[in-house]
Amino acid sequence: EDQVTQSPEALRLQEGESSSLNCSYTVSGLRGLFWYRQDPGKGPEFLFTLYSAGEEKEKERLKATLTKKESFLHITAPKPEDSATYLCAVQAGYGGATNKLIFGTGTLLAVQP
């Protein structure tokens, strides 16, 4: 069964304290891995897509990397405004074009000033 697991469930950092969030996946035929940011009471906001092992994407203080079994979201020198829930999702399977995603349960990040 296809599965996505995120860790830790929650992470508290001091402003400027760099860290990484993990997304491990077990799927048949990865087509894409997605990172989203979700603020309380709002819909997820798209951040990155990674397609193949070794790929990296960056946006401001965020950097996403991908291996054959997991993805990391590295947060460098975080600020309080980076506080949010970060969701990981994968699209898998060898056929079809409907773009169904499998989501992890997210990591709740709190950055304290």
Partner 1 sequence: DVKVTQSSRYLVKRTGEKVFLECVQDMDHENMFWYRQDPGLGLRLIYFSYDVKMKEKGDIPEGYSVSREKKERFSLILESASTNQTSMYLCASSLIVPSGSSYEQYFGPGTRLTVT
Q: Is the Cα torsion angle 11, 81, 62, 31 positive or negative in sign? A: positive
The stretch among 16-24, 36-44, 61-69, 72-80 that binds partner 1 (CB under 8 A) is 36-44
> Counting contacts by CB under 8 A, is residue 31 touching partner 1?
yes
- Which of 28, 99 has the CB closer to partner 1? 99
Residues 45-104 that bind partner 1 (CB under 8 A): 45-46, 49, 51, 87, 89, 91, 94-101, 103-104
Q: Which of 42, 39, 90 is nearest to 64 (CA)?
A: 90
Neighbours of 105 (CB within 10 A): 13
